[in-house]
Structure 1
Amino acid sequence: MNLIIWHYQFRILLLGDSMVGKTSLLRRYMEHRFSPSPCPTVGVEFYSRVMELPPGIKVKLQLWDTAGQERFRCITRSFYRNAVGVFLVFDMTNRRSFENIFEWYNEVSNAQVVEKLIFLLIGHKSDLRSYNRVTTEEAEGLAISLGAHFIETSAMENRNVDLAFEMMASAIYDALRNKEISLEEGWEGVKVIHKKTAIKPQQKKQLPEEKCQC
Protein backbone atom coordinates (compact mmCIF):
# COMPACT_ATOMS: atom_id res chain seq x y z
CA MET A 1 0.00 0.00 0.00
CA ASN A 2 1.37 3.46 -0.99
CA LEU A 3 1.26 6.34 1.49
CA ILE A 4 1.42 9.80 -0.12
CA ILE A 5 2.53 12.67 2.09
CA TRP A 6 2.09 16.20 0.76
CA HIS A 7 4.16 19.15 1.86
CA TYR A 8 2.88 22.66 1.24
CA GLN A 9 3.74 26.32 1.24
CA PHE A 10 1.04 28.72 2.46
CA ARG A 11 1.25 32.46 1.79
CA ILE A 12 -0.32 34.44 4.63
CA LEU A 13 -0.77 38.19 5.10
CA LEU A 14 -1.04 40.26 8.26
CA LEU A 15 -3.34 43.23 7.69
CA GLY A 16 -4.48 45.98 10.00
CA ASP A 17 -3.94 49.60 10.93
CA SER A 18 -0.51 50.98 11.68
CA MET A 19 0.88 50.29 15.18
CA VAL A 20 -1.60 47.55 16.14
CA GLY A 21 1.35 45.22 16.76
CA LYS A 22 1.59 43.10 13.60
CA THR A 23 5.39 43.18 13.57
CA SER A 24 5.68 42.43 17.30
CA LEU A 25 3.34 39.49 16.82
CA LEU A 26 5.47 38.09 14.00
CA ARG A 27 8.74 38.63 15.82
CA ARG A 28 7.42 36.85 18.90
CA TYR A 29 6.43 33.90 16.72
CA MET A 30 9.69 33.86 14.77
CA GLU A 31 12.24 34.78 17.43
CA HIS A 32 10.44 33.61 20.61
CA ARG A 33 10.97 36.96 22.30
CA PHE A 34 9.18 40.26 22.65
CA SER A 35 10.66 42.85 20.34
CA PRO A 36 8.45 45.91 19.94
CA SER A 37 8.81 47.65 16.60
CA PRO A 38 10.36 51.11 17.11
CA CYS A 39 8.62 52.50 14.04
CA PRO A 40 5.85 51.47 11.60
CA THR A 41 6.63 48.92 8.89
CA VAL A 42 7.59 50.46 5.56
CA GLY A 43 6.00 48.60 2.65
CA VAL A 44 6.16 44.83 3.22
CA GLU A 45 8.50 42.60 5.23
CA PHE A 46 8.83 38.86 4.71
CA TYR A 47 9.22 36.02 7.22
CA SER A 48 9.29 32.24 6.78
CA ARG A 49 8.88 29.32 9.16
CA VAL A 50 8.23 25.59 8.80
CA MET A 51 5.70 23.87 11.02
CA GLU A 52 4.27 20.36 11.15
CA LEU A 53 0.62 19.40 11.08
CA PRO A 54 -0.74 15.94 11.82
CA PRO A 55 -0.26 13.40 10.31
CA GLY A 56 3.32 14.47 9.56
CA ILE A 57 2.47 17.23 7.07
CA LYS A 58 5.28 19.77 6.73
CA VAL A 59 4.03 23.28 5.97
CA LYS A 60 6.20 26.26 5.10
CA LEU A 61 4.49 29.47 6.17
CA GLN A 62 5.32 32.49 4.03
CA LEU A 63 4.37 35.40 6.29
CA TRP A 64 4.02 38.90 4.90
CA ASP A 65 4.00 41.80 7.36
CA THR A 66 2.29 44.71 5.64
CA ALA A 67 2.35 48.43 6.40
CA GLY A 68 -0.88 49.84 7.79
CA GLN A 69 -0.34 53.36 6.53
CA GLU A 70 -2.42 54.61 3.63
CA ARG A 71 0.57 55.77 1.59
CA PHE A 72 1.81 52.17 1.31
CA ARG A 73 -1.50 50.66 0.20
CA CYS A 74 -0.46 50.58 -3.46
CA ILE A 75 2.41 48.27 -2.43
CA THR A 76 0.48 46.02 -0.07
CA ARG A 77 -2.45 45.60 -2.47
CA SER A 78 -0.15 43.86 -4.95
CA PHE A 79 0.16 40.96 -2.46
CA TYR A 80 -3.58 40.42 -1.92
CA ARG A 81 -4.37 38.20 -4.88
CA ASN A 82 -1.69 35.63 -4.07
CA ALA A 83 -2.61 34.98 -0.44
CA VAL A 84 -4.54 32.03 0.97
CA GLY A 85 -4.76 33.26 4.57
CA VAL A 86 -5.18 36.66 6.20
CA PHE A 87 -4.72 37.72 9.80
CA LEU A 88 -6.95 40.74 10.42
CA VAL A 89 -5.22 42.41 13.36
CA PHE A 90 -6.58 45.18 15.58
CA ASP A 91 -5.46 46.71 18.86
CA MET A 92 -7.83 45.91 21.74
CA THR A 93 -7.07 49.36 23.21
CA ASN A 94 -7.74 51.22 19.94
CA ARG A 95 -11.36 51.19 18.86
CA ARG A 96 -10.65 52.86 15.55
CA SER A 97 -8.40 49.97 14.53
CA PHE A 98 -11.30 47.60 15.29
CA GLU A 99 -13.79 49.65 13.26
CA ASN A 100 -11.40 49.67 10.30
CA ILE A 101 -11.29 45.86 10.10
CA PHE A 102 -14.27 45.85 7.71
CA GLU A 103 -12.31 48.05 5.32
CA TRP A 104 -9.31 45.71 5.38
CA TYR A 105 -11.57 42.69 4.93
CA ASN A 106 -13.41 44.18 1.94
CA GLU A 107 -10.21 45.38 0.31
CA VAL A 108 -8.51 41.98 0.32
CA SER A 109 -11.74 40.09 -0.47
CA ASN A 110 -12.33 42.16 -3.60
CA ALA A 111 -8.83 41.34 -4.84
CA GLN A 112 -8.88 37.58 -4.31
CA VAL A 113 -8.84 35.19 -7.28
CA VAL A 114 -9.83 32.02 -5.41
CA GLU A 115 -13.22 30.95 -4.09
CA LYS A 116 -12.17 30.77 -0.45
CA LEU A 117 -9.82 32.88 1.63
CA ILE A 118 -9.10 31.93 5.24
CA PHE A 119 -9.46 34.78 7.75
CA LEU A 120 -8.50 34.92 11.42
CA LEU A 121 -9.46 37.98 13.45
CA ILE A 122 -6.84 38.87 16.05
CA GLY A 123 -7.41 41.20 19.00
CA HIS A 124 -3.85 42.12 19.91
CA LYS A 125 -2.33 43.65 23.09
CA SER A 126 -4.63 41.65 25.35
CA ASP A 127 -2.15 42.26 28.18
CA LEU A 128 -3.49 45.84 28.36
CA ARG A 129 -6.97 44.62 29.32
CA SER A 130 -7.64 47.53 31.68
CA TYR A 131 -7.31 49.89 28.68
CA ASN A 132 -9.57 47.88 26.38
CA ARG A 133 -11.87 49.81 24.08
CA VAL A 134 -13.28 46.67 22.44
CA THR A 135 -15.08 43.87 24.24
CA THR A 136 -14.52 40.20 23.52
CA GLU A 137 -18.23 39.86 22.68
CA GLU A 138 -18.00 42.61 20.06
CA ALA A 139 -14.96 41.04 18.47
CA GLU A 140 -16.55 37.59 18.41
CA GLY A 141 -19.63 39.08 16.76
CA LEU A 142 -17.50 40.73 14.08
CA ALA A 143 -15.63 37.48 13.45
CA ILE A 144 -18.91 35.61 12.93
CA SER A 145 -20.08 38.23 10.43
CA LEU A 146 -16.81 37.79 8.50
CA GLY A 147 -16.96 33.99 8.58
CA ALA A 148 -13.79 33.91 10.68
CA HIS A 149 -12.57 32.77 14.07
CA PHE A 150 -11.42 35.22 16.74
CA ILE A 151 -8.50 35.00 19.15
CA GLU A 152 -6.94 37.45 21.61
CA THR A 153 -3.13 37.62 21.61
CA SER A 154 -0.31 39.37 23.41
CA ALA A 155 3.20 39.47 21.99
CA MET A 156 4.49 40.90 25.27
CA GLU A 157 3.15 38.02 27.38
CA ASN A 158 3.42 35.44 24.58
CA ARG A 159 -0.29 34.71 24.92
CA ASN A 160 -1.89 32.62 22.15
CA VAL A 161 0.76 33.66 19.60
CA ASP A 162 1.78 30.17 18.47
CA LEU A 163 -1.86 29.07 18.71
CA ALA A 164 -2.95 31.78 16.27
CA PHE A 165 -0.53 30.57 13.59
CA GLU A 166 -1.42 26.93 14.24
CA MET A 167 -5.12 27.76 13.87
CA MET A 168 -4.48 29.49 10.56
CA ALA A 169 -2.33 26.69 9.11
CA SER A 170 -4.81 24.00 10.24
CA ALA A 171 -7.77 25.90 8.76
CA ILE A 172 -6.01 26.22 5.40
CA TYR A 173 -5.04 22.56 5.37
CA ASP A 174 -8.58 21.47 6.29
CA ALA A 175 -9.97 23.62 3.46
CA LEU A 176 -7.55 21.94 1.06
CA ARG A 177 -8.55 18.46 2.21
CA ASN A 178 -12.24 19.35 1.88
CA LYS A 179 -11.60 20.76 -1.62
CA GLU A 180 -12.81 24.22 -0.56
CA ILE A 181 -9.50 25.54 -1.88
CA SER A 182 -8.13 24.33 -5.18
CA LEU A 183 -4.65 24.88 -6.59
CA GLU A 184 -4.97 27.39 -9.41
CA GLU A 185 -2.34 27.77 -12.12
CA GLY A 186 -0.38 30.97 -11.63
CA TRP A 187 -1.70 31.44 -8.08
CA GLU A 188 0.92 31.62 -5.32
CA GLY A 189 -1.34 31.22 -2.27
CA VAL A 190 -0.68 27.48 -1.92
CA LYS A 191 2.16 25.53 -3.46
CA VAL A 192 2.98 21.85 -3.28
CA ILE A 193 6.68 21.96 -2.53
CA HIS A 194 7.31 18.26 -1.97
CA LYS A 195 5.53 14.97 -2.36
CA LYS A 196 6.91 11.85 -0.75
CA THR A 197 5.62 8.40 -1.56
CA ALA A 198 6.30 5.74 1.00
CA ILE A 199 5.89 2.24 -0.39
CA LYS A 200 5.01 -0.50 2.03
CA PRO A 201 7.55 -3.26 1.53
CA GLN A 202 6.09 -6.41 0.04
CA GLN A 203 6.69 -9.70 1.71
CA LYS A 204 9.14 -11.81 -0.16
CA LYS A 205 7.47 -14.85 -1.66
CA GLN A 206 8.99 -18.16 -0.81
CA LEU A 207 9.77 -20.34 -3.77
CA PRO A 208 8.63 -23.95 -3.52
CA GLU A 209 11.38 -26.31 -2.53
CA GLU A 210 12.72 -28.37 -5.38
CA LYS A 211 12.80 -32.10 -4.87
CA CYS A 212 16.08 -33.76 -5.29
CA GLN A 213 16.27 -35.62 -8.65
CA CYS A 214 19.30 -37.70 -7.76
Structure 2
Amino acid sequence: MSLKVKKLIDNKPDDERKPVKVILLGDSAVGKSKLVERFLMQRYVPVQMSTYALTLFHYDFVTEDDEAIDVDIWDTAGQERFSTMHPAYYHEAHACILVFDVTRKATYKNLEKWLGELRNYREHIPCIVACNKIDTDPSVVNKAFAFVEKHNLSLFYVSAADGTNVVQLLESAISEAVKYKKSPKKDDLMSQVLGFIKE
Protein backbone atom coordinates (compact mmCIF):
# COMPACT_ATOMS: atom_id res chain seq x y z
CA MET A 1 0.00 0.00 0.00
CA SER A 2 1.41 3.35 -0.97
CA LEU A 3 0.96 6.28 1.38
CA LYS A 4 1.01 9.97 0.70
CA VAL A 5 2.86 11.69 3.51
CA LYS A 6 0.64 14.65 4.16
CA LYS A 7 -1.53 16.10 6.87
CA LEU A 8 -5.05 14.84 6.52
CA ILE A 9 -8.12 17.02 6.89
CA ASP A 10 -10.84 14.63 7.95
CA ASN A 11 -14.28 15.44 9.29
CA LYS A 12 -15.18 11.85 10.15
CA PRO A 13 -16.12 11.13 13.76
CA ASP A 14 -13.41 9.47 15.79
CA ASP A 15 -15.10 6.07 15.85
CA GLU A 16 -14.94 5.91 12.06
CA ARG A 17 -11.23 6.53 11.89
CA LYS A 18 -8.85 3.61 11.46
CA PRO A 19 -6.02 4.06 13.98
CA VAL A 20 -2.95 1.88 13.74
CA LYS A 21 -0.13 1.64 16.28
CA VAL A 22 3.51 1.32 15.29
CA ILE A 23 6.11 0.84 18.03
CA LEU A 24 9.88 1.22 17.97
CA LEU A 25 12.28 -1.00 19.89
CA GLY A 26 16.04 -1.03 20.32
CA ASP A 27 18.81 0.00 22.67
CA SER A 28 19.21 3.52 23.99
CA ALA A 29 20.68 6.12 21.59
CA VAL A 30 20.34 4.05 18.42
CA GLY A 31 18.33 6.89 16.87
CA LYS A 32 14.72 5.76 17.27
CA SER A 33 13.35 9.20 18.15
CA LYS A 34 15.40 10.92 15.47
CA LEU A 35 14.07 8.59 12.79
CA VAL A 36 10.50 9.45 13.73
CA GLU A 37 11.28 13.16 13.92
CA ARG A 38 12.90 13.07 10.49
CA PHE A 39 9.85 11.32 9.09
CA LEU A 40 7.22 13.55 10.69
CA MET A 41 8.95 16.90 10.64
CA GLN A 42 11.56 16.48 7.91
CA ARG A 43 14.25 17.96 10.09
CA TYR A 44 17.12 16.67 12.17
CA VAL A 45 18.71 18.27 15.22
CA PRO A 46 21.94 16.41 16.13
CA VAL A 47 21.47 16.65 19.89
CA GLN A 48 21.15 13.39 21.81
CA MET A 49 18.70 13.56 24.70
CA SER A 50 17.11 10.78 26.75
CA THR A 51 13.80 11.29 28.50
CA TYR A 52 11.99 9.17 31.03
CA ALA A 53 8.42 9.04 29.74
CA LEU A 54 7.09 7.25 26.70
CA THR A 55 6.65 9.45 23.67
CA LEU A 56 3.63 9.21 21.40
CA PHE A 57 3.80 10.76 17.95
CA HIS A 58 0.38 11.17 16.34
CA TYR A 59 0.01 11.80 12.64
CA ASP A 60 -2.69 11.42 10.01
CA PHE A 61 -2.26 9.87 6.60
CA VAL A 62 -4.35 9.30 3.54
CA THR A 63 -3.68 6.44 1.16
CA GLU A 64 -3.70 6.79 -2.60
CA ASP A 65 -7.21 5.34 -2.60
CA ASP A 66 -8.24 8.12 -0.18
CA GLU A 67 -8.55 5.92 2.89
CA ALA A 68 -8.10 7.97 6.07
CA ILE A 69 -5.69 6.43 8.55
CA ASP A 70 -4.82 7.60 12.04
CA VAL A 71 -1.30 6.57 12.96
CA ASP A 72 0.17 6.47 16.46
CA ILE A 73 3.94 5.97 16.54
CA TRP A 74 5.23 5.01 19.97
CA ASP A 75 8.82 5.64 21.04
CA THR A 76 10.51 4.12 24.09
CA ALA A 77 12.00 7.52 25.00
CA GLY A 78 14.64 6.19 27.37
CA GLN A 79 12.66 3.40 29.03
CA GLU A 80 14.76 0.81 27.17
CA ARG A 81 17.61 1.61 29.55
CA PHE A 82 15.80 -0.61 32.06
CA SER A 83 16.28 -3.54 29.63
CA THR A 84 12.57 -4.21 29.34
CA MET A 85 9.42 -2.35 28.37
CA HIS A 86 6.15 -2.13 30.28
CA PRO A 87 3.60 -4.60 28.84
CA ALA A 88 1.25 -1.71 28.03
CA TYR A 89 3.78 -0.49 25.47
CA TYR A 90 2.97 -3.52 23.33
CA HIS A 91 -0.79 -3.40 23.83
CA GLU A 92 -2.66 -3.24 20.51
CA ALA A 93 0.53 -2.64 18.51
CA HIS A 94 0.09 -3.49 14.84
CA ALA A 95 3.70 -3.30 13.66
CA CYS A 96 7.18 -2.89 15.12
CA ILE A 97 10.41 -1.30 13.93
CA LEU A 98 13.57 -2.77 15.49
CA VAL A 99 16.42 -0.26 15.33
CA PHE A 100 20.14 -0.79 15.78
CA ASP A 101 23.16 1.48 15.40
CA VAL A 102 25.61 0.25 12.79
CA THR A 103 28.47 1.87 14.73
CA ARG A 104 27.71 -0.12 17.93
CA LYS A 105 27.81 -3.89 17.52
CA ALA A 106 26.14 -4.51 20.88
CA THR A 107 22.96 -2.81 19.69
CA TYR A 108 22.75 -5.34 16.85
CA LYS A 109 23.32 -8.29 19.17
CA ASN A 110 20.55 -7.05 21.46
CA LEU A 111 17.96 -7.22 18.68
CA GLU A 112 17.42 -10.86 19.60
CA LYS A 113 16.42 -9.82 23.12
CA TRP A 114 14.05 -7.12 21.89
CA LEU A 115 12.40 -9.41 19.37
CA GLY A 116 11.97 -12.07 22.05
CA GLU A 117 10.23 -9.62 24.36
CA LEU A 118 8.02 -8.37 21.54
CA ARG A 119 6.91 -11.90 20.67
CA ASN A 120 5.97 -12.55 24.30
CA TYR A 121 3.21 -9.98 23.91
CA ARG A 122 2.57 -9.60 20.17
CA GLU A 123 3.46 -12.91 18.60
CA HIS A 124 2.41 -12.23 15.04
CA ILE A 125 2.63 -8.52 14.28
CA PRO A 126 4.92 -7.60 11.37
CA CYS A 127 8.41 -6.46 12.30
CA ILE A 128 10.93 -4.46 10.28
CA VAL A 129 14.63 -3.95 11.07
CA ALA A 130 16.29 -0.56 10.63
CA CYS A 131 20.08 -0.39 10.32
CA ASN A 132 20.61 3.23 11.35
CA LYS A 133 23.49 5.71 10.95
CA ILE A 134 24.65 4.36 7.60
CA ASP A 135 25.91 7.87 6.82
CA THR A 136 28.90 6.99 9.01
CA ASP A 137 29.73 3.93 6.89
CA PRO A 138 27.96 3.77 3.50
CA SER A 139 29.61 0.42 2.69
CA VAL A 140 27.38 -1.29 5.26
CA VAL A 141 24.58 -1.45 2.68
CA ASN A 142 26.50 -4.29 1.04
CA LYS A 143 26.47 -6.32 4.25
CA ALA A 144 23.97 -9.04 5.11
CA PHE A 145 22.83 -9.55 8.69
CA ALA A 146 22.24 -13.04 10.06
CA PHE A 147 19.54 -11.87 12.49
CA VAL A 148 17.42 -10.55 9.64
CA GLU A 149 17.80 -13.73 7.61
CA LYS A 150 17.18 -15.98 10.62
CA HIS A 151 13.84 -14.37 11.39
CA ASN A 152 12.91 -13.58 7.78
CA LEU A 153 12.49 -9.86 8.45
CA SER A 154 12.61 -6.87 6.12
CA LEU A 155 15.70 -4.67 6.45
CA PHE A 156 16.10 -0.97 5.70
CA TYR A 157 19.46 0.81 5.67
CA VAL A 158 18.64 4.26 7.02
CA SER A 159 20.10 7.49 8.32
CA ALA A 160 18.23 9.96 10.50
CA ALA A 161 21.08 12.41 9.86
CA ASP A 162 20.66 12.68 6.09
CA GLY A 163 17.20 11.14 5.67
CA THR A 164 18.23 8.09 3.65
CA ASN A 165 15.30 5.64 3.40
CA VAL A 166 13.55 7.07 6.47
CA VAL A 167 10.27 7.79 4.67
CA GLN A 168 10.38 4.37 2.99
CA LEU A 169 10.95 2.68 6.36
CA LEU A 170 8.05 4.35 8.15
CA GLU A 171 5.68 4.05 5.20
CA SER A 172 6.44 0.34 4.98
CA ALA A 173 5.80 -0.12 8.71
CA ILE A 174 2.51 1.79 8.49
CA SER A 175 1.41 -0.22 5.48
CA GLU A 176 2.16 -3.48 7.28
CA ALA A 177 0.34 -2.21 10.37
CA VAL A 178 -2.75 -1.36 8.32
CA LYS A 179 -2.76 -4.83 6.76
CA TYR A 180 -2.35 -6.50 10.13
CA LYS A 181 -5.12 -4.47 11.75
CA LYS A 182 -7.52 -5.53 9.01
CA SER A 183 -6.62 -9.21 9.46
CA PRO A 184 -5.25 -9.64 12.99
CA LYS A 185 -4.14 -12.89 14.55
CA LYS A 186 -6.40 -13.89 17.40
CA ASP A 187 -3.79 -15.29 19.74
CA ASP A 188 -1.89 -12.17 20.75
CA LEU A 189 -2.24 -12.84 24.48
CA MET A 190 -1.59 -9.40 25.90
CA SER A 191 -4.26 -7.69 23.81
CA GLN A 192 -6.79 -10.29 24.87
CA VAL A 193 -5.92 -9.95 28.56
CA LEU A 194 -5.91 -6.16 28.55
CA GLY A 195 -9.10 -6.19 26.52
CA PHE A 196 -10.85 -8.22 29.21
CA ILE A 197 -9.58 -5.88 31.89
CA LYS A 198 -11.07 -2.88 30.10
CA GLU A 199 -14.50 -4.52 29.85
TM-score by length of 1: 0.71
The residue type paired with residue 84 of structure 2 is R
* Structure 2 equivalent of residue 52 of structure 1: 62
CA distance in 2, matches of 1:98, 1:135: 16
Deviation sequence 1:5-32 (CA, Å, 0-9, x none)? x852111111100010011111111111
Deviation sequence 1:32-76 (CA, Å, 0-9, x none)? 1012343223231110111222322222110111025433735x4
Tell me by how many angstroms 1:131 deviates. 8.9
Distance change >3 Å, CA 103–CA 120, structure 1 → 2? same
Q: Does structure 1 conserve the Cα–Cα contact (< 8 Å) formed by 2:20 and 2:178?
A: no
Higher helix share: 2
Structure 1 unaligned residues grouped into runs of 5+: 1-5, 189-214
Deviation sequence 1:62-97 (CA, Å, 0-9, x none)? 0111025433735x4321132111110000111100
Identity level (%) = 21
Matched, 1:71 2:82: yes
1:52 is paired with a residue whose SS is strand
Q: Does structure 1 conserve the Cα–Cα contact (< 8 Å) formed by 2:134 and 2:158?
A: yes
* Structure 2 equivalent of residue 40 of structure 1: 50
Aligned with 2:90 (options 67, 80, 85): 80
Aligned with 2:124 (options 116, 128, 143): 116
Aligned with 2:148 (options 137, 143, 151): 143
CA distance in 1, matches of 2:82, 2:184: 34
Aligned with 2:105 (options 73, 95, 115): 95
Which residues of 2 match residues 1-214 of structure 1 at below 5 A? 7-66=17-76, 67=78, 69-71=80-82, 73=84, 76-112=86-122, 116-129=124-137, 136-138=143-145, 141-176=146-181, 179-181=183-185, 187=191
Q: Does structure 2 conserve the Cα–Cα contact (< 8 Å) formed by 1:23 and 1:36?
A: no
CA distance in 2, matches of 1:109, 1:163: 24
Structure 2 unaligned residues grouped into runs of 5+: 1-15, 193-199
Q: Which is higher, the Rg of structure 1 or of structure 2?
A: 1
* Structure 2 equivalent of residue 203 of structure 1: none
How large is the RMSD of aligned CA atoms in angstroms? 2.8
CA distance in 1, matches of 2:18, 2:164: 27
Tell me by how many angstroms 1:175 deviates. 3.7
Q: Does structure 1 conserve the Cα–Cα contact (< 8 Å) formed by 2:157 and 2:165?
A: yes
CA distance in 2, matches of 1:187, 1:54: 30
TM-score by length of 2: 0.76
